[in-house]
Amino acid sequence: MTISVEIKCINKSDRQNAHERIKNVGGINGDGSRWRLTEDAAIAGMKDGKWSFWTNGGGRTAKVIIARSAGGKEYLKTESDGVHPNNLLALPECP
C-alpha cells in the first residue's frame, strides 16, 4: 500500500540557484518528529510503490512526480499547476 506524504522542506546543493538539484526532501510525521530522505531514496520509494509525495505552495496542492533531465538523470518536481517557481523548489530549507 502506497503512503501519501507531504513534503514540507528541501535541501539543495546550492540554495541560491533555483535550478540546482535537490539533495533531500523532508517533512513532519504525525507524532511531530521530523523525517528527511535523499532525493534518490525518495525516487526509489516512489518507484517501489512505498510512497507518493505532494506539497503545498501558492495556496495549491501539487503532486510530486519523477522527471528526467536531458542528460537522463531522474529528479523530483511537482506537476505543473501554474505556480512559479516549482512548488518543490520554493519550499524552505530543512533543518
pTM over 0.85: yes
Cβ atoms within 10 A of the Cβ of 35, count?
13
Task: Please name the residues in contact with 9: beta carbons below 8 A apart, sequence gap of 6 or more.
Answer: 25, 26, 27, 91, 92, 93, 94, 95
Bridge partners of 5, per DSSP, are: 53
What would the pLDDT profile of 60-79 be if each residue is shown by its tens digit? 788 999 988 888 889 899 98
Is the backbone peptide bond immediately before 92 cis, with ω within 30 degrees of 0?
no
pLDDT-derived band at 80 (thresholds 50, 70, 90) equals confident
